[in-house]
Amino acid sequence: MLADPLLPFRDQPATSAILLDVDGTLAPIAAHPALSLVPPPTLAIVARLVERFVVVACVSGRSAREAARLVPVAGVGFIGNHGLEALEGERLRYADGVEAWLPIVSAAAQAVTPIASEVGAWVEDKGATLSIHLREAPDPAAARAVLVARAAPLIVAAGLRWRLGRMTLEARPPIAADKGTAIAALLGRHAEVRRSLYAGDDLTDLDGFRVVDVAVAVGSDETPPELLSAASLVVSGTTGLVDLLVSLTDSG
């Protein structure tokens, strides 16, 4: 790898793609997802990236519409639900096979809600996926153990897959689509792209790391070690990522 892997991006923005997770990457982690906010100065930097780079997109675990609400910047593309959906203008497009699973995800969310409530967690039905949030639980570690023991079997019985994330237990349909496949498909629609960068902070971002040229881990006390090991670059928190994005707007 180059001594400065960002140099080609600065020098050749017309053939470069910048892809960004949202929560924990552009938006500092909040106690509740409803409290998350991408700071206005960060939004201004994203707008500068759009002016400079051929592709700028947010690739989020949130629904694509929620990601678009948090990053209201014209020209940004949005991939949501860990790669299971994309927002194309005002039209939401699901990955192949996802729509048949929407009622199953909804039923599973209802089934695990009583268990989550017992341990102080809560369930978010995001349509194509569901998340059980642990951050507000009195004892997140104990809550996680209960959810793995009692909620995960219900998720599996519904035909869904689950995995742990930062203070979450995520469930999704057994479909071969993820952040990596969605990023690859997006880049495939832009023949002019010669290099790509993706920044993220959680385990699902590993899927994105595998298909880009430069992988940026946004580090914190909660960052999974696997993500740090897989990264080309590591920055310190959302402020470190802002510094990196500012550097990408330099002419080199």
What confidence tens digit (pLDDT) does each residue in 91-145 have? Answer: 999 999 999 999 999 999 999 999 999 999 999 999 999 999 999 999 999 999 9
**3-state secondary structure (DSSP) of residue 100:** helix
Closest alpha carbon to 22 in 75, 92, 74, 77: 77
> CATH topology of 11-95+176-248 equal to that of 99-172?
no
Q: For position 30, what pLDDT does the model report?
A: 87
Q: What is the pLDDT of residue 115?
A: 98
Domain spans in the chain, listed from the N-terminal domain onward: 11-95+176-248, 99-172
Nearest-5° angle of CA 117, CA 123, CA 124?
160
Cα dist. 184→59, 94, 171, 193, 226 in Å?
12, 15, 22, 11, 21
CATH level 3 topology of 11-95+176-248: Rossmann fold (3.40.50)
172-194 pLDDT tens trace: 999 999 999 999 999 999 999 99
Q: Is the pTM higher than 0.85?
A: yes
**DSSP secondary structure letter of residue 95:** P
Give CATH for domain 99-172.
3.30.70.1020
Q: Among residues of the chain, what percentage have pLDDT more than 70? A: 98
Phi (first) and psi of residue 60, to 5 degrees: -125, 160
Contact status, residue 112 vs residue 157, Cβ threshold 8 Å = no
